[in-house]
Amino acid sequence: MLLQNRAIVEAKSLGWLTGSDANAPAQLLRDLNFSIAPGERVLLTGPSGSGKSTLLRALAGVLQQTETGVFSGELYVRGRAGLLLQDPANTFVAARLGGEIAFGPENLALAEPEIRSRVEACLDRVALPYGVHRATNELSGGESQRMALAGVLAMNPDLLLLDEPTSMLDELSAAKVLNAINEVLDSRPETAAIIVDHSAEPWSKLATRVLVLSAEGRLAADLPMASFLSDASAKAVHLATAFDLGYRTGKPVGTVRALVGPSGAGKTTELQKILKKLGVAEVGWVPQQAEFTVAGNTVWQSATATAKNLNLETSLASRLLTQLGLQNQLQQNPYRLSGGELRRLALVSALAHHPSHLMLDEPTVGQDAETWQAVAGVILAAKRAGVDVTLATHDAELIALADEVIEVVPAATRSAVPPRTGRVAPLAALLISMGLLGGSFAIGSVETGAIALGVEAALALMCWRILPQQKAKRFVPILIALASIWLSNALFAADGVNLQALERALVVTLRVAFFALPSVVLAGALRPAELAAALVRWCRVPARPAVAAAAALVRLEFIQWQWAAVREARRLRGFNEGHGPVARTKEFMASLFALLVQSLRSAGELAVAMQARGFAEPTAKRRTWVKF
Amino acid sequence: MNAINLASNSKSRSWRVIDFVIAAMLAVVLGVGMWAYDTFAYAPVGVLFSAVPWLAGLQFGVWTLPAIAGAMIVRRPGAALLAELIAASVEVSLGNTWGATSLYSALLQGAAVELILLVVLYRNFNLLVAALAGIAAALAEVLVYESWAYWAGTSTEFLLSYLAACMVSGAVIAGVGGWLLVRALRAAGVLGAFAK
């Protein structure tokens, strides 16, 4: 046993090497030796790409989930590790708060009363003021992160691994998350914690020890927090880097406007209102999700796409790429850049067609000091070049650069009336429509067909209140299809066009109408996540695929939002100019592909979070299912 | 004290967490794509082919793409079926032409793709296998379901022409298209956890 002094973590010459193909930058850990005692709180820091997250995932035992690589040395972890990831939007699995927190204990196949008591206790611990039935997609970013923390705590971890848990949040929400983490750890003195963060300041009270990784993935320092803080060079210095955009608009100097206000106040909506009024040539747009602006397969193609769409020179792109330190990665695939590099590429992509307006949405959220300096530098350079800059931000240091600060006040929310979903259970809807499909065989003449449809219509009217509401336009495609089925069956009958054939075609069409029209109505009752749950409970469908399906399906709303954001970003890069069906189809497919890439990227994070909560344990195959 | 085993096990036939999640997420997005096709393209294309209605079968592959793309990425028994069923349930819940009955089509098409992969013992995932899987899905959909449900009154010539159109589409749009889609996703660097 390698274990010294009851250490909870022990790494001996730990190494990890990835990137077999030349295209992918190797993510490395080299020759790491350290051990962590129970109850110890450690900050793990280092430059972007130094392998902090990689090490954390190795400790959680989930590294091989999203990466293939070669492992060397030894790594021991005693007890259970719980992993909290950066962006809670990527990691939730359930539609309701209770189900989300219960996910881990369910995978451990604990008894239902035990799970319910853990859920209540963890909700309380992270100070979420909602009941277990609260919809997970109604929570704010900070609340979601506290929900995710509760989900990790429900596993009762001996080692808490936190991967930049506050970097995606505004100051107020971050403070609340920090508070929750502090209280949790105060109440569990034996639980060790490793926190990954760019900045030490928020963790200066909590963590007593700092591990610093070098850019090459080696352990550069292992020292007490006090000595780390007194070392001035370790502190992040927020100073804008000096840039020159290389072009000028007609204006002598631009205006920097900052839209500020609490999360959810509608800052992004305000930005989008301005964007709608501006043409592609006038504006450069950097959304919060910088990856939405990626176009093409290389950094160079992406940087120059807008300029090429507008038939402009690409020399400015080349200059900007050099200034922002991307000149050596021109042939790199943009999706393989680090988060900071991707943000800098998005800045280049937004400016390479020399627009007169630059619009930025939360440009510094989740970014390290180096990228912060690049963002601030570009804002100041844009101002000097006569470019008007509008940015939505929570970042006090960035707001300090603005000439005008505009407070966005949350609009009074009109509560939209949700469409009636009806009270037909998903499985019942499926069975009814299957029954109708089989029953349609009984229709042998126009008379029986007409009677059957009449009975259906009468039943529908009688059950009107429990049926899901469907918009009239939902019936347009099926009516067109029915017409085409009648035509095909009438015109292409075996014995040519005659009266008998017309009648037979009508019978076939009535049959299809008999099972298809109710199926369109009942589709509204097939809420996919509930259907997956019902299939597991009643039809003994294997639990894990159904749970994974449900986790992907709760993202449907988010995916629809992403779809709109991708379309907007591509329009503002000049990709939407085509009008003919061929051009529109091409653009549709390019957008769908971009959306697919985004979703599969976040799927990697989701898989890591699910595995860290016991989804790969042998118990998950006979997991408990608690209804919330 | 547990030693953490970091050795990669992507060659194993059993399902990893990432396999489930990628198959499901791929299917949800492609399901949205299928819904968009039903909503915006299905009617105009139908009108375009109204003189020769069996040509409408050329659209068939659009609805089998999730099964083939899912199988080509995950390469495990059941991936095609899982992806196709999830995609169809998304399509249905957003509102499509056929409502709940689309799930039976999905079941048939997914099972047909699995059958072809079973024949090659889940060892071969090349272009030819993808195209054959698309053709198999067309045969299952038309012969097992549509022939009696939609085309009971038509002549054999019509049905065979329609079947041929579906098979071509299954091979080209779903088979070759699915294979190309997976290749492009690999190039975009989002399939790092999967075999090449």
Q: For position A283, which CATH number holds?
A: 3.40.50.300
Q: Give the amino acid at A476.
A: V
Tokens at residue A221, please? Answer: 């320092």
Domain shared by A494 and A349, yes or no? no
Domain shared by A290 and A171, yes or no? no
Tokens at residue A434, please? Answer: 């299957």
Look at residues A503, A526, A549 and tell me which one is the last residue of a structural domain. Answer: A526
Choose between A472 and A286: higher pLDDT.
Answer: A286
3-state secondary structure of A236: coil
User: How far is A454 from A432, CA to CA, in rounded Å?
Assistant: 17
Percent of chain A residues past pLDDT 90, beyond the cut: 43
3-state secondary structure of A2: coil
Contact A603, A595 (CB under 8 A): no
pLDDT per residue over A164-194, tens digit each?
A: 998 888 888 889 999 999 999 999 999 999 9
Domain shared by A517 and A617, yes or no? no
Nearest chain B CA: its distance from A491 CA (Å): 8
Nearest chain A CA: its distance from B153 CA (Å): 5
User: How far is B68 from B60, CA to CA, in rounded Å?
Assistant: 13
Any idea which of A374-383, A446-455, A520-529, B154-163 has the lowest mean pLDDT? A520-529
In a domain, A532, yes or no: no
pLDDT per residue over A473-509, tens digit each?
A: 888 888 888 988 898 888 888 777 788 888 889 999 9
User: What is the per-residue pLDDT for A22?
Assistant: 45
In order, the DSSP letters of A33-55 are EEEE-TT-EEEEE-STTSSHHHH
- Kindly give, in sequence order, each residue whose CB lies less than 8 Å from that of residue B177, ignoring residues fewer than 6 positions away: B61, B65
Q: Is A551–B21 a contact, with Cβ atoms under 8 angstroms apart?
A: yes
Residue of chain A whose Cα is closest to the Cα of B149: A512
Would you say residue A456 has pLDDT above 60? yes
A321 touches chain B (CB under 8 A): no
Percent of chain A residues past pLDDT 70, beyond the cut: 94
User: What is the per-residue pLDDT for A232?
Assistant: 53
Domain of A349, in residue numbers: 256-411
- Kindly give, in sequence order, each residue whose CB lies less than 8 Å from that of residue A316, ignoring residues fewer than 6 positions away: A246, A247, A307, A351, A352, A353, A354
Could you tell me which of A212, A215, A210 has the C-alpha nearest to residue A227?
Answer: A210
Q: Is A599–B3 a contact, with Cβ atoms under 8 angstroms apart?
A: no
- Kindly give, in sequence order, each residue whose CB lies less than 8 Å from that of residue A446, ignoring residues fewer than 6 positions away: A503, A506, A507, A510
User: What is the per-residue pLDDT for A167?
Assistant: 84
Could you tell me which of B84, B196, B194, B67 has the C-alpha nearest to residue B133?
Answer: B67
B157 touches chain A (CB under 8 A): yes
Domain shared by A387 and A461, yes or no? no
- Mutation site, A469, A489, A514, interface B, largest B CB count within 10 A: A489
Tokens at residue A454, please? Answer: 């009449």
Write the burial class of residue A580 (CB in 10 Å: 0-12 exposed, 13-18 middle, 19+ buried): exposed
User: What is the per-residue pLDDT for A627?
Assistant: 83
User: How far is A463 from A188, CA to CA, in rounded Å?
Assistant: 55
CA A595 to chain centre: 11
Contact A211, A25 (CB under 8 A): no
- Kindly give, in sequence order, each residue whose CB lies less than 8 Å from that of residue A596, ignoring residues fewer than 6 positions away: B26, B29, B30, B181, B185
User: How far is A115 from A613, CA to CA, in rounded Å?
Assistant: 14
In a domain, A549, yes or no: no
Q: Is A519–B98 a contact, with Cβ atoms under 8 angstroms apart?
A: yes
Range B83-91 average pLDDT: 94
- Kindly give, in sequence order, each residue whose CB lies less than 8 Å from that of residue B133, ignoring residues fewer than 6 positions away: B67, B68, B71, B80, B112, B113, B116, B117, B174, B175
User: How far is B194 from B149, CA to CA, in rounded Å?
Assistant: 39
Any idea which of A343-347, A424-428, B131-135 has the lowest mean pLDDT? A424-428
Would you say residue A530 has pLDDT above 80? no
What is the H or E stretch that residue A160 is in?
A: strand A159-163
Query: What is the CB neighbour count within 10 angstroms for residue A412?
Result: 5
Write the burial class of residue A499 (CB in 10 Å: 0-12 exposed, 13-18 middle, 19+ buried): exposed
Enter the DSSP assignment of B144. Answer: I
Range A144-162 average pLDDT: 95
Could you tell me which of B76, B125, B21 has the C-alpha nearest to residue A66?
Answer: B21
Q: Give the amino acid at B88.
A: A
CA A69 to chain centre: 25
Q: What is the 3-state secondary structure (H, E, C) of B99-129?
A: HHHHHHHHHHHHHHHHHHHHHCCCCCCCHHH
A433 touches chain B (CB under 8 A): yes
Contact A322, A290 (CB under 8 A): no
B121 touches chain A (CB under 8 A): no
Domain shared by A396 and A450, yes or no? no
In a domain, A558, yes or no: no
Give residue A394's pLDDT band: very low, low, confident or very high (50, 70, 90).
confident
Give residue B5's pLDDT band: very low, low, confident or very high (50, 70, 90).
low
Give residue A2's pLDDT band: very low, low, confident or very high (50, 70, 90).
very low
Domain shared by A151 and A272, yes or no? no
pLDDT per residue over B8-54, tens digit each?
A: 554 567 899 999 999 999 999 999 999 989 888 888 888 888 888 89
User: What is the per-residue pLDDT for A420?
Assistant: 62
Look at residues A377, A411, A445 and tell me which one is the last residue of a structural domain. Answer: A411
A336 touches chain B (CB under 8 A): yes
List residues bridging with A357 in a β-sheet: A283, A388
In a domain, A244, yes or no: no
B60 touches chain A (CB under 8 A): no
In a domain, A380, yes or no: yes
In order, the DSSP letters of A251-308 are SSS--EEEEE-STTSSHHHHHHHHHHHS-TTTEEEE-SSGGGG--SSSHHHHHHHHHH
User: What is the per-residue pLDDT for A1?
Assistant: 44
B134 touches chain A (CB under 8 A): no
Domain shared by A273 and A163, yes or no? no
Choose between B10 and A72: higher pLDDT.
Answer: A72
Domain shared by A364 and A511, yes or no? no
pLDDT per residue over B136-188, tens digit each?
A: 999 999 999 999 888 888 899 999 999 999 999 999 999 999 999 999 999 88
**Chain A residues touching B154 at Cβ < 8 A:** 488-489, 492-494
Any idea which of A90-99, A526-535, B64-73 has the lowest mean pLDDT? A526-535
Range A122-140 average pLDDT: 89
- Mutation site, A485, A486, A547, interface B, largest B CB count within 10 A: A485
Give residue A201's pLDDT band: very low, low, confident or very high (50, 70, 90).
confident
Residue of chain A whose Cα is closest to the Cα of B160: A492
B14 touches chain A (CB under 8 A): no
Nearest to A433 among B20, B86, B99 (CB): B99
Would you say residue A200 has pLDDT above 50? yes
Query: Which residues 17-36 in chain B show a CB within 8 A of chain A?
Result: 17-18, 20-30, 32-33, 36
A551 touches chain B (CB under 8 A): yes
Phi, psi of A120 (to 5 degrees): -60, -45
Which residues of B1-66 form beta strands (DSSP E)?
2-3
Number of domains chain A contains: 3
Q: Which residues of A221-251 are buried (b: 16+ CB within 10 A; e: fewer)?
A: eeeebeebeeeeebeeeeebbebebbbebee
Question: Chain A to chain B, count of Cβ pairs less than 8 Å apart?
Answer: 264
A625 touches chain B (CB under 8 A): no
pLDDT per residue over A286-299, tens digit each?
A: 998 888 999 888 99
In a domain, A283, yes or no: yes
- Kindly give, in sequence order, each residue whose CB lies less than 8 Å from that of residue A536, ignoring residues fewer than 6 positions away: A542, A543, A546, A547, A625
List residues bridging with A83 in a β-sheet: A161
User: How far is A262 from A274, CA to CA, in rounded Å?
Assistant: 20
Domain shared by A88 and A177, yes or no? yes
pLDDT per residue over A75-110, tens digit each?
A: 999 989 999 998 888 899 998 899 999 999 999 999
Domain shared by A190 and A288, yes or no? no
Give residue A626's pLDDT band: very low, low, confident or very high (50, 70, 90).
confident
Question: CA angle, A431 as apex, B71 and A538 as ends, to 5°?
Answer: 75
Domain residue extents for chain B: 17-187
Any idea which of A217-226, A238-247, A401-410, A558-567 has the lowest mean pLDDT? A238-247
Q: Is B2–A607 a contact, with Cβ atoms under 8 angstroms apart?
A: no
R_g over Cα of chain B: 17
**Chain B residues touching A68 at Cβ < 8 A:** 8, 10, 192-193
Contact A166, A202 (CB under 8 A): yes
- In A440-575, alpha helices (H): 446-462, 476-491, 499-523, 528-539, 543-553, 556-571
pLDDT per residue over A289-328, tens digit each?
A: 888 999 888 999 999 999 999 999 899 999 999 988 898 8
Range B49-77 average pLDDT: 94
In a domain, A583, yes or no: no
Give residue A154's pLDDT band: very low, low, confident or very high (50, 70, 90).
very high
Contact A60, A161 (CB under 8 A): yes
Would you say residue A45 has pLDDT above 70? yes
Domain shared by A376 and A404, yes or no? yes
User: How far is A466 from A424, CA to CA, in rounded Å?
Assistant: 6
The separation between the first and the last C-alpha atoms of chain A, rounded to the nearest angstrom, is 44
Would you say residue A208 has pLDDT above 60? yes
In a domain, A504, yes or no: yes
Contact A357, A283 (CB under 8 A): yes
Q: Is B158–A59 a contact, with Cβ atoms under 8 angstroms apart?
A: no
A478 touches chain B (CB under 8 A): yes
- Mutation site, B154, B173, B180, B194, interface A, largest A CB count within 10 A: B154
Q: Is B54–A429 a contact, with Cβ atoms under 8 angstroms apart?
A: no
